[in-house]
Chain A
Amino acid sequence: MNQISNRQAICDVLLKKAENDKDIVVLCSDSRGSASLTPFASTYPDQFVEVGIAEQDLVGISAGLAACGKKVFCASPASFLTTRSYEQAKVDVAYSNTNVTLIGISGGVSYGALGMTHHSCQDFAAMSALTGMRVYDPSDRFQMEKLIEALLEDKEPAYIRVSRNPTEDVYDENIEFKLNKANVLGSGKDVLLVSCGEIVPYAKKAMEMLNEKGISTGLIDMYCIKPFDEQTLIEACQDIKLVVVIEEHNPFGGLGSMTAQVLGHHCPKRLVEINLPDEHLISGTNKEMFAYYGLDEKGIVARTIKELGI
């Protein structure tokens, strides 16, 4: 099992790149440890800014630095970054088109038993709704590294959701990565699974299990939630009977909603969404919660079979 978390993968890339790029600046809100960015703060103290527990300030200062030519990465728990500082993300980053990458750490239900205050089950919807903001949720460390490298090459705002714990590798060093292009992890004739982030390893297992049962199943890793890769989805679902979206997000405005929108516009298909319900969630580790709400491989397989009426 891989032991390198996606957050550590971010730090590794930034550490490497900052050696020759003094414009890279990282900001945290008393969150350097939970963001795995302590090595960056220690190695490049002149390129690191601590703002304390002040998320509005975190994003505002980030925008000011970016407006002066800095390539800014600011990291704070996704739950606070996407709600407490939402207006700064809207005005100072998205509307002002500043070169800020907002890193929402411990995204989704990563914090498990810490409860609803610490969950971010609305971040895809909230951040996608901002004009000028891009939204990403990479599935593993390899995809995350490629994404950070790609974002360092442009100057546009972005939000990345990052899971807390190491996830099983989906790719390897030879990952084919193109910014804003989803990765197709398998193609099938009956079912198409669509997922992102740390749910992808579960969806990959579910795909394998369904194929073993004779249900021809494919999978898209839609790490680019906005801009959504419509083309890959449309191409993959031409002859499909059922599309199943699995996401660590509530039912409103996330990957499920966006998939439904694209299908509705271009190629209507039967669509099932497996996501977190619109209610206060149970306590547990994220894995326990995934299992309870049917987001793990068993849940995905069971729901797919049920929906197919087999």
Chain B
Amino acid sequence: MDKLTRKSYELRRDIIEMINHSKAGHVGGDLSVVDILTVLYFDQMNISPENWKDPNRDRFLLSKGHCTDALYCVLGEKGFFDVNEAIETFSQYKSKFIGHPNTDVTGVEINSGSLGHGLAIGTGMALAARMDHRDYRTYVVLGDGEMAEGSNYEAMMAAGHYHLDNLCATVDLNGLQISGTTSDVMSTASLAEKFEAFHWNVIEVEDGNNCEQLQKAYNSAKNYKGRPTAVIAHTTKGKGVSFMENTASWHHGVMSAEQYAQAVKEIEEVLAR
């Protein structure tokens, strides 16, 4: 197994621990987005505890903020803080590790949680880079359910208008949201065409849980000039835990003891390969 895939399963193990300990969080989306986060944080972006105050660091925004559980695990594994502190206190009384990204947690750029905010903020960050002649890149991760928010389209319009090729949006397209499939709840189909219509470069990733495919997409995005890039990552919600996969009810489900044991077993089997 390659290093990034291994990392993504180690992170899955952390996520399951955090979710089980807290009886909170959004496990389905965490497992859907974790490979995207892994590739960005452990391969693509120059973000680390050492350069955290450096104005030249890349910027990352988790617009689908409810999957902050996965982000906390990633930031912990990156060394921003002890990941065990996050696992043990997530969503607990007076914890800074609340259910959406907030800047009390080192490594989080801005407070988020309400959907449809990240892309506009990312557009502002990318504009700032251009004004200051800095070469950092800004990465925004969105959910496909989130793409029903109209504010996204305002931001897509502006980023395309200003040719922000230092901006890269990823849609974690798992086809599910809290009430069911996105096609039933509110179709966000043809996302590639929508981004293209706003003058974005679009890269479709067939398996958005495959680190190698994601890596290739982000490498290509870095070299694309003149337009922002949207990576449409076709993911599986709940990926890596068989009984959660493609099941809307695991948007924020709580595991029984048996389910927890099963989830741990499946992830550790992969890690043992």
Contacts and interface: CB of A to CB of B under 8 A. Distances in A.
Nearest to B134: A68
A166 interface: no
Contact of B111 (A22, A25, A96): A96
B114 A57 contact: no
Contact of B158 (A22, A54, A68, A98): A54
A91 interface: yes
Interface string A21-37: 01001000000000000
A60 B111 contact: no
A13 to B, nearest CB: 20
A54 B162 CA distance: 15
A126 interface: no
A63 B155 contact: no
A61 B158 contact: yes
Contacts, number: 99
B52 to A, nearest CB: 13
Contacts of A88: 117, 120, 151
Interface in B134-167: 150-151, 154-155, 157-158, 161
A28 to B, nearest CB: 13
Interface stretch (B15-23, B37-45, B121-129, B234-242): B121-129
B124 A61 contact: yes
Given A46-B131, A69-B128, A96-B103, A56 B121 contact: no
Given A68-B129, A68-B132, A60 B124 contact: yes
A15 to B, nearest CB: 18
A60 B151 contact: yes
A56 B157 CA distance: 12
A196 B246 CA distance: 57
B247 to A, nearest CB: 30
Interface of A: 22, 25, 46-47, 49, 51-52, 54, 56-57, 59-70, 87-88, 91-92, 95-96, 98
Given A64-B127, A88-B120, 19 more contacts: A47-B131, A52-B157, A56-B120, A56-B150, A57-B123, A59-B120, A60-B123, A60-B151, A61-B120, A63-B124, A64-B125, A64-B126, A64-B128, A65-B127, A67-B109, A67-B110, A68-B125, A91-B114, A96-B111
A65 B120 CA distance: 10
Contacts of B123: 57, 60-61, 64
Interface of B: 55, 59, 103, 109-114, 116-117, 119-129, 131-132, 150-151, 154-155, 157-158, 161
Given A54-B154, A54-B157, A60-B120, A65 B110 contact: no
Contacts of A67: 109-110, 121, 124-125, 128
B110 A96 contact: yes
Nearest to A63: B121
A147 to B, nearest CB: 24
Nearest to B136: A68
A69 B109 CA distance: 12
Nearest to B112: A91
A285 B208 CA distance: 58
Nearest to B140: A64
Contacts of A95: 111
A60 B114 contact: no
A68 B54 CA distance: 11
B124 A65 contact: yes
Contacts of B128: 64-65, 67-70
B117 A62 contact: no
Contacts of B154: 51, 54, 56-57
A6 B139 CA distance: 39
Contacts of A46: 131
B153 to A, nearest CB: 9
Given A54-B154, A57-B154, A68-B129, A62 B113 contact: no
Nearest to A53: B154
Nearest to A47: B131
B121 A64 contact: yes
